[in-house]
Structure 1
């Protein structure tokens, strides 16, 4: 087979303009669709139950390698396409952070299939299209680590090389087994705690020290590195070392509420909004810094004529396809919005104008959040990106748009009736489209990083992700209706006599509905958001000053540290510190040459990738068990009195694993 560049062989990357490579195949599309269906259903249930979803790229890659190897002939590029397609399941399902709010406010009594599928599919495909011009700015021309994308690439490489004698594969498997067993012992059997917290009081001020024991987050932090890790730590310190103590000191302590619960409640309802405001400013600042590369990428994506003749590994979808699909999806969203507005307010002219305005918001704000989400995914990975923070900003923006139109007399009177139920529902519906675009953008750039590392063809990845979006969008409405009928949501039960204790909490959807209702009924406290905006401005000034003398301050990472829970941020920082520590120890041990340092570094990357893969796979397995049983503690072997023992054992096991990780990475090669 003649080719330019290299071609696909075990243990080698694929690059250049190779032809005849098995990459986008019918069997891969079918397998990817099946995995997408299963993982979408699992993520929808888990997200509604506990407010968390799992990233599906790595589990999909492992399943794909096993299935395609059994079928014969599966290679690294074909496996990469399957995991790219299936990754839509872990991200598009995040629309459940908004849509159940429609039932909680009483506007819907079920999930209309066409509306939900259309808004998810159109928003998701727009998210894919938004990332095409961002690929060059944030992936090929960026030093962002993309921890999950890097881990997925290492797994695909190890699977391609194979062989029991391959040390990289052994380390990947060892890390995976350790993380899977630890996750089973903590998240399933209850033998180990998954986090530990200590609450300290200084007068009326409360300080809370927390860390999680997630080995996947340790692995992600290792891949992120010390720069991003310290910025995240700064955000966590500002949140839990400054904001929470101040708020606990000035806020009356409710009787009967423990110190830990009081501090956590203030963080959830106050400090996270500071983080959301900081993220908003940081996102704008980040986009301004990326304006040049993004504009260049946008111009290249829409005008380049060598998309069919250039390097295979640098080809995006053709400009006419991007423009045509973009217009089609915008028209689809506009029709969807218009029909939604007409159902509540039968005024065609006003509905069309409002639908056009909301579609324009989805286009402009959607592209901005796509870039911001892609950047955040590059820092901390898709799983740890604050998607709910983006949803908060979208709810606020769309609410302010409708309030402005209402003040101008452009909204029909129906929007003001019934405690503004239609206005609140409209905000949630439009936000779901923006969130679909944001989540897919968040994931697609991670997938494109994987593709860059394994030599995939970008336009093919973009095609299969759109297929995954459509499959996921088709699955989400019936799964939502099934779960609603079986369990109900907190504050929205489908049948009389159902047990409220069994209702799905849908915590993010409850929060979004509360924020939208608070804005329209003038009950939302803007103080925390404005403090976050002010803090963001100060951090931007600090970043500008620091860049004059050396490295700047990743402002967005600081915002993440404020917004994400400490069990996430501190664990990420621990992983980043392990990366710095192993580097220092390697140099002090005499690994002075670049080749020796690269060998040690790769050993750490493989172990870290194994941590991410092992915990992800166990997370899928536990989600399946929880979904089948309807109980979170179905595998638990312990009782309530075991909590303190579990915390000490979990901490001890976590420390032992981290020490073992460092010793293994820095040891001399065998």
Structure 2
């Protein structure tokens, strides 16, 4: 029997208001910008529900009257921006990297984001009852967000004689702002002024050049926050992946394939005459090959996710259809069980098929048989979109939105759709160019749908605990999608010009590019399948690694162990530079230590708010610095590489670590 919601079904308080609509849309755009930056930097995104809830409580308390359900609506809309950003940045930058787009096209990107996001909401509406009401899935971020919102009380009314402002709600907002200020300051001193180094790296040749060592650490407060939020299990696996790909893979690859690496890196002659730059080029070339191990592991991990979720998905759909039949038989659902009507959902999906068709026509412009290919692509979007959105919704309940393997879903989409199009179009002439483009359009929409689906289910779980009206939350989720879809293209354009996304910025070549690991992977997969093919040797090693991890994970599952081995976390670590995984691991260690020290869930402390603040502050400052670099070059006094920048960077990172440990 489900627990009684905080606001009973027979009690009606304000949910949809003008101030909630405006605030939700603004926060959606802001958090989309922050998550776009952090996702392009490290390839991982985190749920924005908790910082959105804390911000909402702080801002809505400025009004005479507000309610907990208004706050819930604001965080529902705001967190949609973070999720849609993930769906877009994992895929669409590939179109710029492969040269299909000259820049980030606002109209096309906005339409892809809107269609994918709205369909992600629609696909999960029939699953709400099955996954939230009739199962015991954890939905960790949804539960944690509800606890944050409860600290603000049910109704705030300054004219009420018994009005007592919640000290807890005020304090939470201040904690978030202070951490955001620190994260933003560190980012300004690093990227804006150049006083602090953003990373520390070294490459060494040992044993007479037979063993090649390379390692680095990225000094990012945001990555420390990411690790704190995802927890020790995922953070440790990402770090293990980094060790496999860099500390083990790079030297072994050099030992076995030294001659090939020398040729690829353009290094020749006797190694005693090689410079430090030559060794760095060799290490970088070796790592570029080793990271393909992560590609193979991601491919197997994506397929395994679909296999393991097949039965729960079918059971969930059956339960939802049974609930709909009961409502049609005359049973009036409670307010807290009223979803958007299924006929409206079906109509929304059918209407979406029209713009889907024209978008694919646009992607295939110039191809003689584009009309029927576009129809097939539209059908694939509706079928694969529903399957993968359902998988993402279930996974959000199982492991949370921050740990949701959206990358695996997207990899599966790219491979399946690319292979289908390859059979239909071939890879000769125009098809070789347009095929990968159409695949990335489809991947962008499906990835957006899957990301929004996971967020929607997480928010609906929060609403279920609080006593929200589901159809109103679903409307607010769509509002968040619309706001974010319009903002993200502008943000990506600014970041690409200020830093470069997966490439050196043409306007600011001195800046360190954002790696955009997922988008780079999607580009390589789609163009490889349609082009000369993919180099499979390292990918096959990734297949084997994934099988070992799956067996370990199943063993841990049978033992009932808390520490698990999800494939995609290790695969992402292999694919990313080692330096990104180190601060994530340190954040995970700190979260685990704090939880053990207190003996309570982390949601009860300040840690999540502090970590979210560090992420948001650094990310938003990163966007601001990019804007300044593009619009006012030379106006900010950039110091460049100063003698003590590495030590100062380490000191700044240590300060953030101490702050997170002390205040959480």
**Where on the TM-score scale, by shorter chain, does this alignment land: which range?**
0.7 to 0.9
2:463 maps to 1:451: yes
2:128 maps to 1:128: no
How many Å separate the matches in 1 of 2:467 and 2:527? 48
2:70 maps to 1:78: yes
- Structure 1 pair 265–616 and aligned structure 2 pair: CA distance change class (3 A): farther
1:357 matched residue in structure 2 = 376
- Structure 1 pair 507–603 and aligned structure 2 pair: CA distance change class (3 A): closer
The C-alpha deviation readout for 1:98-148, integer Å capped at 9, x for no partner, is 44554565555677766444332222112223334555676664555645x
How many Å separate the matches in 1 of 2:41 and 2:237? 31
Alpha carbons 2:201, 2:217 under 8 Å: kept: yes
2:313 maps to 1:294: yes
2:571 maps to 1:559: yes
2:605 maps to 1:605: yes
2:370 maps to 1:318: no
Matches within 5 A, 1:99-138: 99-102=92-95, 107=100, 115-132=108-125, 135=128
- Structure 1 pair 621–556 and aligned structure 2 pair: CA distance change class (3 A): closer
Alpha carbons 1:146, 1:381 under 8 Å: kept: yes
- 1:404 maps to which of 423, 435, 459: 423
- 1:650 maps to which of 648, 652, 656: 652
Alpha carbons 2:31, 2:81 under 8 Å: kept: yes
- 2:450 maps to which of 435, 438, 441: 438
Moved more, 632-641 or 111-120: 632-641
Matches within 5 A, 1:512-591: 512-551=522-561, 553-586=565-598
User: How far has the Cα of 1:449 moved from its partner?
Assistant: 4.6
Moved more, 357-366 or 133-142: 133-142
1:412 matched residue in structure 2 = none
Query: Per the alignment, in what secondary structure is the counterpart of residue 246 of structure 2?
Result: helix
1:184 matched residue in structure 2 = 184
- 2:485 maps to which of 473, 492, 505: 473
- Structure 1 pair 224–473 and aligned structure 2 pair: CA distance change class (3 A): closer
- Structure 1 pair 613–295 and aligned structure 2 pair: CA distance change class (3 A): farther
User: How far has the Cα of 1:278 moved from its partner?
Assistant: 2.0
How many Å separate the matches in 2 of 1:632 and 1:150? 45
User: How far has the Cα of 1:403 moved from its partner?
Assistant: 1.4
The C-alpha deviation readout for 1:44-91, integer Å capped at 9, x for no partner, is 788889989886555544553344333332222212212222333333
TM-score using structure 1 length: 0.76
- Structure 1 pair 156–478 and aligned structure 2 pair: CA distance change class (3 A): same
TM-score using structure 2 length: 0.77
2:520 maps to 1:501: no
User: How far has the Cα of 1:626 moved from its partner?
Assistant: 3.3
Matches within 5 A, 1:173-252: 175-176=175-176, 179-190=179-190, 196=200, 201-203=205-207, 204-208=210-214, 211-212=217-218, 214=220, 217-218=223-224, 221-222=227-228, 224-249=230-255, 250-251=257-258, 252=261
Alpha carbons 2:188, 2:625 under 8 Å: kept: no
How many Å separate the matches in 2 of 1:429 and 1:527? 28
Query: Per the alignment, in what secondary structure is the counterpart of residue 416 of structure 1?
Result: coil
Alpha carbons 1:151, 1:608 under 8 Å: kept: no
- Structure 1 pair 399–72 and aligned structure 2 pair: CA distance change class (3 A): same
How many Å separate the matches in 2 of 1:402 and 1:500? 37
Alpha carbons 1:45, 1:627 under 8 Å: kept: no
2:93 maps to 1:87: no
User: How far has the Cα of 1:240 moved from its partner?
Assistant: 3.4
The C-alpha deviation readout for 1:484-526, integer Å capped at 9, x for no partner, is 9999989899xxxx85739996754566445433332215323
1:461 matched residue in structure 2 = 473
How many Å separate the matches in 2 of 1:262 and 1:145? 45
User: How far has the Cα of 1:96 moved from its partner?
Assistant: 4.8
User: How far has the Cα of 1:429 moved from its partner?
Assistant: 2.3
- Structure 1 pair 25–339 and aligned structure 2 pair: CA distance change class (3 A): same
- 2:441 maps to which of 429, 433, 440: 429
- 1:345 maps to which of 367, 373, 393: 367
The C-alpha deviation readout for 1:504-552, integer Å capped at 9, x for no partner, is 9675456644543333221532333333223222322333344444335
Moved more, 354-363 or 253-262: 253-262
How many Å separate the matches in 2 of 1:654 and 1:200? 29
1:280 matched residue in structure 2 = 299
Q: How many residues align?
A: 623
Query: Per the alignment, in what secondary structure is the counterpart of residue 74 of structure 1?
Result: strand
Q: Which runs of 5+ in 2 are unaligned?
A: 157-163, 268-274
Q: Which runs of 5+ in 1 are unaligned?
A: 7-12, 408-414, 587-596, 665-670
- Structure 1 pair 265–575 and aligned structure 2 pair: CA distance change class (3 A): same
How many Å separate the matches in 1 of 2:35 and 2:233? 32
1:156 matched residue in structure 2 = 149
Alpha carbons 1:58, 1:613 under 8 Å: kept: no
How many Å separate the matches in 2 of 1:145 and 1:215? 26
